[in-house]
Chains A and B, each alone.
Chain A
Amino acid sequence: MAIENAVSDQDRDVDRSKMHISDTEVAVDIKGMHKWYGDFHVLRDINLKVMRGERIVICGPSGSGKSTLIRCINRLEEHQKGQIIVDGTELTDDLKKIDVVRRDVGMVFQHFNLFPHLTILENCTLAPIWVRKTPRKQAEETAMHFLRRVKIPEQANKYPGQLSGGQQQRVAIARSLCMNPRIMLFDEPTSALDPEMIKEVLDTMVGLAEEGMTMLCVTHEMGFARKVANRVIFMDQGQIVEQNTPAEFFNDPKHERTKLFLSQILH
C-alpha cells in the first residue's frame, strides 16, 4: 500500500515540481542526508518528509541510528551531507537558524535531562523567560497550565530529585510544551521507566497526539505506535529500511530485517 507521505527519491522530484504543497504544511523535510561519526557512517541517505500534524514512530535495533536521526532534527548532532529543513528553515552552521529551529522543536529525552538545581516550576519557566522573553508571571501561568495537563501541578515547588521517574518524564514533556513548540521529538521516553510508570507517560503523549501535535517518537511501545502513529519507520544500519501505516507495518512487514526485528520484539 502506498503511503502518501512516504518519500522515495522519485517522489521527491515530483514534489518539487508540484509547488502546491506549501512550505507550512511540511514540518520536517530531510533530503539525501548523511552523517558520519569520524569514519563511521552512522546515517546513510535518509529521506523523510513529515507533514504538519503527522505522528511518526521510529523503531529499529539498538545502534541503528534512531537517536542520531532525531537529534539531527534539532541540531544536537550535525549532519555532513544532504538537507534538513525544519518548518521552512534549513539547518546549516548558521547559529541564528539553529536557535530558531530549537525554539520551535521540543525534545524529550530518555533520561529526562531535567535541571536538578531548579524546582519543577523553574524548570518549566526558564526557557520561556530567557529565550522567549515572556514575563515571569505569564510564564508561570503557562507552566502551571501544562503541569496540570500532565497531572502534577501539586509538585510545582519540588525539585526533580524528589519525583518518581514517570513524574520527571511528564515534567520534561511539560517543560517542552511551555515553549509552545510546533514539533515534538521523543527519544525513547519510556525506556528508563519502571513498568508501572510507562502508562502515565504514554497517556500524556497520546493526549498530545490527539490535539494534533506533530510528533516524531523513537519508541518500542508498539501499542502506542498502533494507537497514534500515522506511519511507522523501521531503521537498520543507519538507513530507513521500511515505512508503512502501523496496521500494514505490523501485520504485513515486507523487508526481511523488519520481519526479523518484529519477531524478536513481539515474540
Chain B
Amino acid sequence: MQEHDLSWVRTEMTLAQRAPSREAGAFAWGRKNLFATPLNSLMTAIAIVAVAWFLPKILSWVLFDAVWTGADRTACLTTAQGGELPVGWSGACWPFVSSRFGYFMFGRYPLDERWRVILTGVIFIALLVPLLIPRVPYKGLNAVLIFGVFPVVAFILLLGGVFGLQHVETSLWGGLMVTLVLSYVGIAVSLPLGILLALGRRSRMPVVKLLSVIFIETVRGVPLVTVLFMAAFMLPLFVPPGVTFDKLLRALIGVALFASAYMAEVIRGGLQAIPRGQYEGADSLGLGYWQKMGLIVMPQALKLVIPGIVNSFISLFKDTTLVLIISMFDLLGTVKQSISGDPTWATPQTAKTGYVFAALIFWIFCFGMSRYSMFMERRLDTGHRR
C-alpha cells in the first residue's frame, strides 16, 4: 500500500487560460465541413457536379438567352417558327409577362379603378411592416388596425359601391390580388379560430370538446378541393332562397375553415408541450381561465409552434391556387389562362415563362414568411438558456 497517494493538497490554483486557437482559414473550414468523411466527400462531389450541370442551363434560359422586349409572339419565335431567332433557340419570353403583368396582378379589375387595389396594398404594407419589426412600439394598436380596421377599409376600397366608389364585382377580381385576399383572410381567421378550436379540444366541457373534435376531424378528413366545392355549391343550400352568396366569399369561408382545422392541431401540439406546473403556477396565483390561457399558456405554446404555424400559412398561401377549380382566377389561374387563351403570345416558350414567373412570385412570399419565422424564433427564445 502506498499511503502517500491518498493524500494530496493543491498548493496553487490554476488560473483560467485562453482556449487553444482552432485552425482557421478556408482550407481548414472546408476540410471540417466538406470532406470530413468519405461519405461527406462523396456528397460534396455530387453536389458540385449537380450545380455545375444545372446552374448554367437555368441561368442562360432565365437571363442570358432570354428575350426582354417585344410587342407580340414574333419576338420569341425562331426563324423556323416564323420569327427571327436562330433555330434551336430556347429562353424565357419576358415580354409576355410584362405585357400581361396588370392582368396577373389585378385580373379583370377595371383599369381606371386599379389605384384602389394599389392603395389597399400600400395601406397593408404600411401596417404590416411596423407590426413585424419588434422595436416599433404600439403593437396592440397596430394589431387592432391591421386585423380590425384594415379589413373594413379594404372591403370598402376593393368592392366599392359606397362613398362614390364604383362597385367592382368580385367576379372581376383576379391575379395576385385574389391570392393575397384569400391568404390574408385565411391567416387572419385561422389563427384565432385555430386557437379557440385547440382550447375547445382540450376543454373539460364535453359538449365544447365534442364539437371541436367533430369540426377538426371532419375538415381534416377531406381535401381542400372538396371543401371548396362544398363551399361553392353546398353552402347556398343552407341559406334561405333568394339570399345570394358571393362566390369569393364562399371560397374565403372554405379556405378559412380548412386552415383553422389544421391550425388547431398545430396549436394543440404546442399546448401539450406546456408542463402542468405552468397551469398550477397560474392557478395558485388566482388567475382565471382566460387569463391563464392568454397570458401564460398560449404565449409559450404559440412560441413553440412558430415553425408549424408558418408552415400552415405557407401551405394556405399555396393552396389558394385551388380556387381555380371553382372558376376563380388567382395568380396561377390568370397566368394559366393567359398561356392558353391568348393567341398574341402563343409561342413554345410562353408556358414555361409564365409558370417560372408564377413560381418566382410564390417563392418570394413563402421564403419571406419562412425567414421571418426563423428570425422570430431566435428572438423569442428566452427560456432555459442555462
Binding site for B on A (CB under 8 A): 74, 76, 99, 102-103, 105-107, 109, 111-117, 126-127, 130-131, 159-162, 175-176, 179
Contact = CB atoms under 8 A, between A and B. Distances in A.
Interface stretch (B37-45, B287-295, B316-324, B354-362): B287-295
B254 to A, nearest CB: 35
B164 interface: no
Contacts of A107: 284
A126 B295 contact: yes
Contact of A161 (B284, B303, B384): B384
Given A116-B300, A126-B295, A131-B291, A162 B386 contact: yes
B302 to A, nearest CB: 10
Contacts of A130: 287, 291, 295
Interface stretch (B91-99, B274-282, B341-349): B274-282
Interface string B308-337: 000000000000000000000000000000
A194 to B, nearest CB: 13
A74 B300 contact: no
A127 B282 CA distance: 8
B285 A159 contact: no
Contacts of B281: 109, 113-115
23 contacts: A74-B283, A76-B280, A76-B284, A99-B288, A102-B283, A102-B284, A109-B281, A112-B277, A113-B278, A113-B284, A115-B296, A116-B300, A116-B383, A117-B299, A117-B303, A126-B287, A127-B287, A130-B287, A131-B288, A131-B291, A161-B383, A162-B386, A176-B284
A45 B121 CA distance: 69
Contacts of A160: 383
Interface in B263-281: 277-278, 280-281
B383 A159 contact: yes
B277 A111 contact: yes
The CB with the most chain A CB atoms within 10 A, among B280, B286, B287, is that of B286
A115 B386 CA distance: 15
Contacts of A74: 283-284
Contacts of A175: 285
B382 interface: yes
Interface string B12-43: 00000000000000000000000000000000
4 pairs of A and B residues whose beta carbons are closest in the complex: A113-B281, A116-B383, A127-B285, A102-B286
B385 interface: yes
Contacts of B303: 117
A106 B280 CA distance: 12
A57 B136 CA distance: 51
Contacts of B382: 116-117, 159, 161
Contacts of A105: 284
A116 B285 contact: no
Interface of chain B: mostly helix, strand, loop or mixed: helix
A151 to B, nearest CB: 20
A111 B280 CA distance: 11
B213 to A, nearest CB: 24
Contact of B384 (A103, A111, A116, A179): A116
B107 to A, nearest CB: 43
Contacts of B287: 126-127, 130-131
Interface residues of B, number: 23
B36 to A, nearest CB: 33
Contact of B278 (A115, A161, A179): A115
Nearest to B289: A95
A146 B370 CA distance: 43
A111 B281 CA distance: 10
A109 B277 contact: yes
A179 B283 contact: no
A112 B282 CA distance: 12
A71 B116 CA distance: 61
Contacts of A116: 300, 382-384
B385 A162 contact: yes
Contacts of B383: 116-117, 159-161
B300 A113 contact: no
B300 A106 contact: no
A110 B284 CA distance: 14
B242 to A, nearest CB: 46
A103 B300 contact: no
Nearest to B381: A161
Given A76-B284, A103-B286, A130-B295, 9 more contacts: A74-B283, A102-B286, A109-B280, A116-B383, A117-B382, A126-B285, A126-B287, A161-B384, A175-B285
A105 B280 CA distance: 13
A160 B281 CA distance: 14
Nearest to B282: A115
A107 B380 CA distance: 28
Contacts of B280: 76, 109, 113
Nearest to A165: B386
B363 to A, nearest CB: 33
Nearest to A114: B281
A112 B380 CA distance: 21
B291 A113 contact: no
A114 B382 CA distance: 13
A35 B278 CA distance: 24
A107 B284 CA distance: 6
Contacts of B384: 116, 161
Nearest to A131: B286
A161 B381 CA distance: 10
Contacts of B278: 113, 115
A112 B283 CA distance: 14
Interface string B365-385: 000000000000000101111
